[in-house]
Chain A
């Protein structure tokens, strides 16, 4: 049991990192990684939404879609549920914790239809029936750890890009080009974790 959790945790954060191994959520990975501050804000929002979405969606999947044999509706239902969930959280957050609402800011609505979030819940739904990931708590942990992996990649990359701003880059590679090259090298570095679990 415990070892299974460990496998999920290490697997989601390092080995099957969402950004660097699965290539999900590339848009925010490139979009909001110019500064460490925004990367931290985005990471916070992703961790928040992905954990919550994994929990709610796995419950809906387990107790609604599977018993009614409606698995083919998964993508449709998941995206609707995630979108409304984010909307709900946003409304409640504004009232309950204005400070958190301000710090998450624009990132919360931004990740409503992020493919990393959808990818996470789809992977949960597709997990083998006997694995821990198919249970609601296992799915939640997987969602949380995947988001941590996403945050790790985003923070690493934004720190790299901040350093990159100061470096002299050949004219042809300036801007997005050198960012993509850096992202590729970072992904290759993460390849070192493969085979760990």
Chain B
């Protein structure tokens, strides 16, 4: 037998032996992966938004199955999804109130303007240049850093103002940290009425550069029940512990329309109504 045949046969044998050994070892030492993880991942929204604090839906599913997290920690899941996951794992789902984001500013480009900014169209860059181009130093810059961060397209930039659509917002909180003016807060979705202003300056000063600022005239405080609207310096805010009914907006007839109902605000009902 020539040396070539010996070489071919012996390498072949070595290869086959190694292959068989690996095959056997892989069978013997197989690591079982919990099939529930995959199933829970299927039930999750798969948005990988990171709102739960885990690296993504797969990571969250692993934590849920390992009972390190509860399904309710997913801010995106509708209550029915959470119940489904909980039922599948045989655990009790806790009640969770849906929260949505609110951008506390109503000053769009037609109401407030100061200067021309030609830099990068990003709020965090713009704020480095003398606090942004808006007349109000506390208002929405309107370049949409928050809208970019939103994986669900729930934030619309309308005339240089970020507007949250409460029906699209799932409450993942991705936008909250992107706002250099800290305008975005998370509120219970059931609360409609918000004061769309966050400037702590005096009412008269605010009026010089913004037509829709809250001037703390307290009209809304008077028409609502005690404690429903809170006065905070030169600004009135909704008390989210004890919220006023949506009718307050009508009754108060806010002179600057800073007091708005979220769904109407998203629909653009207040555009051009300020006096």
Interface residues of A (CB under 8 A from B): 60, 64, 68-70, 72-73, 76-77, 80-81, 84, 87-88, 91-92, 94-96
Contact of B29 with A95 in the complex, beta carbons under 8 Å:
yes
- Choose among B7, B26, B30, B31 the residue that contacts A73 (Cβ–Cβ < 8 A): B7
Q: List chain B residues, Cβ under 8 A from A77.
A: 11, 14
Partner of B31 from the list A81, A88, A94 (CB cut-off 8 Å) is A94
Binding site for A on B (CB under 8 A): 3, 6-7, 10-11, 14-15, 18-19, 21-22, 25-26, 29-31
How distant is A72 from chain B, measured CB to nearest CB, in Å? 8
**Smallest CB gap from A101: residue in B:** B31
B190 CB, min distance to chain A CBs, angstroms: 44
Q: Which of A60, A72, A76, A87 contacts B22 (CB 8 A)?
A: A87
B6 cross-chain contacts in A, Cβ below 8 A? 68, 70
Q: A70 to chain B: which residues have CB within 8 Å? A: 6-7, 10
Question: B25 touching A73 by the CB < 8 A rule?
Answer: no
Contact A91 B11 (CB under 8 A): no
The dominant DSSP class at the A interface is helix
Q: Given A69-B3, A80-B15, A96-B29 in contact, is the A91-B22 Cβ separation under 8 Å? A: yes
Mostly, the B contact residues are: helix
CB closest chain-A residue, reference B27: A91
Q: Would A91 and B29 count as touching, CB distance under 8 A?
A: yes
Evaluate whether A84 and B18 lie within 8 angstroms (CB atoms) in the complex, with A94-B29, A94-B31 already known. Answer: yes
Cβ contact within 8 Å between B25 and A92:
yes
Which chain A residues border B10 with CB–CB below 8 Å?
A: 64, 68, 70, 73
Within the assembled complex, what's the spacing in Å between the Cα atoms of A24 and B18? 27
